[in-house]
Structure 1
Amino acid sequence: MKSNKILNILITLIAVVGGILFIRIFMEDAEALKTDVDLGNNVISPLIYYSTWLFYATVIVAIVLSLWSMFRNPENLKKTLAGLGVLAVLLVVAYFLSDTAAVYDANGLKVLEGGEEGSSTNKWVGTGIWYSVILGGIASLFFVWDLLKGLVKS
């Protein structure tokens, strides 16, 4: 019960600070914000920095709590490591399916900057595309499988 109160106080403080920073923007003239760089930096930058650091803190807390939960329950750790292993194997398959062909502009006349043949960027972009296709195909198979199971049960 005490941790709930602490969490509620923390959430309230975060919301109040964000609200104050947000209200400060609306207190200024919109045209002045567009033309006066110093005013924009003094009013908008604090909200952006606050949001960025809040995002970083949220990501760190989520990762730490997830890892803590996994290490406290070895069965979940085994499942997670097995899942990561499968994803790694699929990434290797996608890497070998991708190519390093040159990337041309929309007219097909000029090779785009950074898209030269043999470029590692091309290889990793191709890997990302193939990885998405493979994972999408697997997800589609599971979707159809679940749909068929639902139809058979009915």
Structure 2
Amino acid sequence: MKSNKILNILIAAIALIGGFLFIRVFMEDTDAIETDVDVANSVVSPLIYYSTYLFYAAVIITIGLSLISLVRNPENLKKTLGGLAILGVLLLVAYFLSDSEAVYNAAGEIESGGEEGSAVNKWVGTGIWYSVILGGIASLFFVWDLLKGLVKS
């Protein structure tokens, strides 16, 4: 019960600080924020930094709690590592399917950073193929589930 009260106080404090920073932005003139760098830095920057730090904290806490949960339950750890291994194999397949050919713009010129053999091109192609493979697998499971539902009814 006590930890719940502490959590509520922490949430309220975070919300109050965020609300205060947000209201400070609206108290300033829009033109002044857009034209005067000092005003923008004094009003908008603290809100952005606060939001960024909250995001980092949320990510770190989420990953930390997930890891603690996995360590406490070895059976889930085995399932998670198996799933990650399968995703790794699919990533390798996507990597070998991708190419690193030159990327041309509408004028027929090679884009900056899109030269043939570029590592960026290879990884972008890998990401595209990875999405296609995972989307195909998801589609198969969707159709399978749909067919199972039709057979049961």
Q: CA RMSD in A?
A: 0.9
List aligned pairs for 1:64-83, cutoff 5 A: 64-83=64-83
List aligned pairs for 1:50-129, cutoff 5 A: 50-107=50-107, 109-129=108-128
Aligned residues: 153
Are 2:129 and 1:133 equivalent residues in the alignment?
no
Equivalent residue number for residue 14 of structure 2: 14
Equivalent residue number for residue 45 of structure 1: 45
CA deviation after TM superposition for structure 1 residue 100, in Å:
1.3
Moved more, 130-139 or 120-129: 120-129
Encode CA deviations 1:35-80: one digit per residue, 9 max, x unaligned: 2211111111100000000000000000000000000000000000
Secondary structure in 2 matching 1:99: coil
CA deviation after TM superposition for structure 1 residue 30, in Å:
1.7
- Structure 2 CA distance, aligned partners of 1:36 and 1:112? 35
- Structure 2 CA distance, aligned partners of 1:131 and 1:153? 33
- Structure 2 CA distance, aligned partners of 1:37 and 1:144? 55
Q: Scaled by the length of structure 1, what TM-score is found? A: 0.96
CA deviation after TM superposition for structure 1 residue 112, in Å:
1.2
Which 5+ residue runs of structure 2 have no aligned equivalent?
A: none
CA deviation after TM superposition for structure 1 residue 24, in Å:
0.8
Amino acid at match of 1:13: A
CA deviation after TM superposition for structure 1 residue 102, in Å:
1.2
- Structure 2 CA distance, aligned partners of 1:28 and 1:100? 49
Secondary structure in 2 matching 1:50: helix
Amino acid at match of 2:32: A
Runs of 4+ with deviation above 2 angstroms = none
Q: Percent identity?
A: 75
Q: Scaled by the length of structure 2, what TM-score is found? A: 0.96
- Structure 2 CA distance, aligned partners of 1:135 and 1:77? 22
